[in-house]
Amino acid sequence: MKKLNLFVLVFLFFTTSTVFAQQKEIFIENVMKETYENSLLEQLGYELLDEIGPRLVGSPQMKTAHDWAVTKFSDWGISASNQQYGVWRGWDRGISHIDLVEPRIKSLEGMQLAWSGSTPKNGVTAEVITIPSNIKDSLSFAKWLPCVKGKFVLVSMLQKTGRPDYNWEEFATPESFEKMKADRTSQTTAWNNNLKNSGYSSRTLDEALEKAGAAGIVQSNWSRGFGVNKIFGARVKKIPTVDISLEDYGLVYRLAENGKKPKIKVVAASKELGIMPTFNTIARIEGTEKPDEYIILSAHFDSWDGGSGATDNGTGTITMMEVARILKKYYPNPKRTIIVGLWGSEEQGLNGSRAFVHDNPAIVENVQAVFNQDNGTGRVSSINGQGFLHSYNFLGRWLREVPENIRKHIETTYPGSPSGGGSDHSSFVSQSAPAFMMSSLNWSYFNYTWHTNKDTYDKIVFDELKNNVALIAIMAYLASEDPEKTSREKIVLPVNSRTGEQMEWPTPKDGNRRGGLD
Angle between helices 2-37 and 462-481 (to 10 degrees): 160
Q: What is the mean pLDDT of residues 166-171?
A: 98
pLDDT higher than 70, residue 164? yes
**Distance of alpha carbon 271 from its chain centroid, rounded?**
25
pLDDT higher than 80, residue 137? yes
- Residue 13: per-residue pLDDT: 52
Q: What is the mean pLDDT of residues 51-65?
A: 98
Question: Is the pTM here over 0.75, yes or no?
Answer: yes
> pLDDT: is 78 or 496 the higher one?
78
**Distance of alpha carbon 406 from its chain centroid, rounded?**
24
Q: What is the mean pLDDT of residues 496-511?
A: 92
pLDDT higher than 80, residue 14? no
Q: What is the pLDDT of residues 169-226, one digit of tens each?
A: 999 999 999 999 999 999 999 999 999 999 999 999 999 999 999 999 999 999 999 9
- Residue 406: per-residue pLDDT: 97
SS (H, E, C) 7-40: HHHHHHHHHHHHHHHHHHHHHHHHHHHHHHHCCC
Q: Which pLDDT band holds residue 1 (cuts at 50, 70, 90)?
A: low
3-class DSSP assignment, residue 284: strand
Q: What is the pLDDT of residues 66-119, one digit of tens each?
A: 999 999 999 999 999 999 999 999 999 999 999 999 999 999 999 999 999 999
- Residue 221: per-residue pLDDT: 98
- Residue 6: per-residue pLDDT: 57
Helix (H), strand (E) at residue 391 = helix 391-391
Q: What is the mean pLDDT of the chain?
A: 96
Architecture of the domain spanning 96-269:
3-Layer(bba) Sandwich (3.50)
3-state helix, strand, coil in the chain (%, to 5): 40, 25, 35
Domain ranges of the chain: 36-90+276-481, 96-269
Q: Where does residue 438 fall: left (phi above 0), alpha (psi -120 to 50 degrees), or beta otherwise?
A: beta
- Residue 15: per-residue pLDDT: 57
Non-local (6+) Cβ contacts of 258 within 8 A are: none
Q: What is the pLDDT of residues 360-407, one digit of tens each?
A: 999 999 999 999 999 999 999 999 999 999 999 999 999 999 999 999
Rounded-to-integer distance, Cα 399 and Cα 142, Å:
61
Neighbours of 438 (CB within 10 A): 24
The partner residues of 299 in beta bridges, in order of sequence, read: 342
Q: What is the mean pLDDT of residues 40-50?
A: 98
Contact 381, 411 (CB under 8 A): yes
Q: What is the mean pLDDT of residues 129-141?
A: 97
pLDDT higher than 90, residue 443? yes
pLDDT higher than 90, residue 3? no
pLDDT higher than 60, residue 330? yes
Q: Is the peptide bond before 415 cis (omega within 30 degrees of 0)?
A: yes
Domain 36-90+276-481: CATH superfamily is: Zn peptidases (3.40.630.10)
Residue 330: exposed, middle, or buried by beta-carbon count in 10 A (0-12, 13-18, 19+)?
A: middle
CA pseudo-torsion sign 30, 36, 39, 41? positive
Q: What is the pLDDT of residues 414-435, one digit of tens each?
A: 999 999 999 999 999 999 999 9
Which contacts (CB < 8 Å, 24+ apart) does range 397-401 have? 397/478, 397/482, 398/474, 398/475, 398/478, 398/479, 398/482, 399/475, 401/24, 401/28, 401/474, 401/478
Helix (H), strand (E) at residue 202 = none
- Residue 497: per-residue pLDDT: 85
- Residue 2: per-residue pLDDT: 57
- Residue 149: per-residue pLDDT: 98
- Residue 37: per-residue pLDDT: 98
pLDDT higher than 70, residue 20? yes
- Residue 16: per-residue pLDDT: 59
